[in-house]
Amino acid sequence: MPPHGRRPAPPSPAGHVFPQAASTVLPDPARFFAPGLLSAPLPTNCFFQNFTLKNGDQPEYIHPYSVRSAAAGLTVCYPSRNHSPSFDIQTFAADLTVSSPSDAAAAGQPHRVVAFDDLSVTLDFSPSLRAFLVRGCPFVTVATAEAAGPVDVSVASVHAFLEAAPCDDARTKWRLRMNSGQTFLLYASAPIGLQQASVTQLAAPGFSGVIRIAYLPDPAMEAVLDQYSRCYPTAGEAALNRPFCIDYAWRKQGWGDLLMLANPLHLRLLSEDCSVRVLDDFKYRSIDGDLVGVVGDSWVLKTDPLSPTWHSTRGVNDDGVDEVVAALRKDVDSLASSPIATTSSYFYGKAIARAARLALIAEEVGCPEVIPAVHRFLKATVTPWLDGSFQGNGFLYDPKWGGLVTKQGLQDSGADFGFGIYNDHHYHLGYFLYAIAVLAKIDPSWGRKFMSQAYSMVADFMTLSRKCGASYTRLRTFDLWKLHSWAGGLTEFGDGRNQESTSEAVNAYYSAALLGLSYGDTHLVSVGATLTAFEMLAAQTWWHVREGEGIYEDDFSSNNRVVGVLWANKRDSGLWFAPPEWKECRLGIQLLPLLPISEALFPDIGFVKDLVSWTTPALARDGVGEGWKGFVYALEGVYDKESALAKTRALASHDDGNTLTNLLWWLHSRGNVDNTVVGSGRCCWYRQYGH
Catalytic residue positions, numbered: 424, 500, 504
CB atoms near residue 655 (< 10 Å): 21
CA-nearest of 44, 58, 140, 127 to 96 is 140
Question: What radius of gyration do the chain's Cα atoms show?
Answer: 27
Report the distance separating Cα 457 and Cα 419, nearest Å.
Answer: 13
Close Cβ partners of 400 (under 8 Å, ≥ 6 residues apart): 22, 23, 26, 28, 29
CA-nearest of 212, 140, 142 to 174 is 212
Report the distance separating Cα 375 and Cα 184, nearest Å.
Answer: 64
CA-nearest of 91, 79, 88 to 556 is 88
Report the distance separating Cα 98 and Cα 95, nearest Å.
Answer: 10
Report the distance separating Cα 394 and Cα 174, nearest Å.
Answer: 59
Find the helix packing angle between 451-462 and 502-519, rounded to 10°. Answer: 140
Strand duo 498-499 + 565-567: pairing? antiparallel
**Helix/strand/coil percent split, the chain, to 5:** 35, 25, 40
Contact 196, 210 (CB under 8 A): no
Contact 183, 199 (CB under 8 A): no
Tally of residues, the chain: 691
Query: Does an H or E element contain 126, and which?
Result: strand 120-126
Q: By CB neighbour count within 10 A (0-12 exposed, 13-18 middle, 19+ buried), where does 650 fall?
A: exposed
Q: Using DSSP, state whether 75 is helix, strand or coil.
A: strand
CB atoms near residue 501 (< 10 Å): 24
Report the distance separating Cα 152 and Cα 147, nearest Å.
Answer: 14
The CA–CA distances, whole Å, from 208 to 153, 213, 436, 485 equal 9, 16, 58, 39
Cα angle 437, 439, 441 (rounded to 5 degrees) comes to 70
Q: By CB neighbour count within 10 A (0-12 exposed, 13-18 middle, 19+ buried), where does 228 fall?
A: buried
Report the distance separating Cα 200 and Cα 216, nearest Å.
Answer: 19
Q: By CB neighbour count within 10 A (0-12 exposed, 13-18 middle, 19+ buried), where does 621 fall?
A: exposed
Report the distance separating Cα 373 and Cα 355, nearest Å.
Answer: 10
DSSP 270: B
Query: Does an H or E element contain 502, and which?
Result: helix 502-519
CA-nearest of 143, 193, 201 to 171 is 193
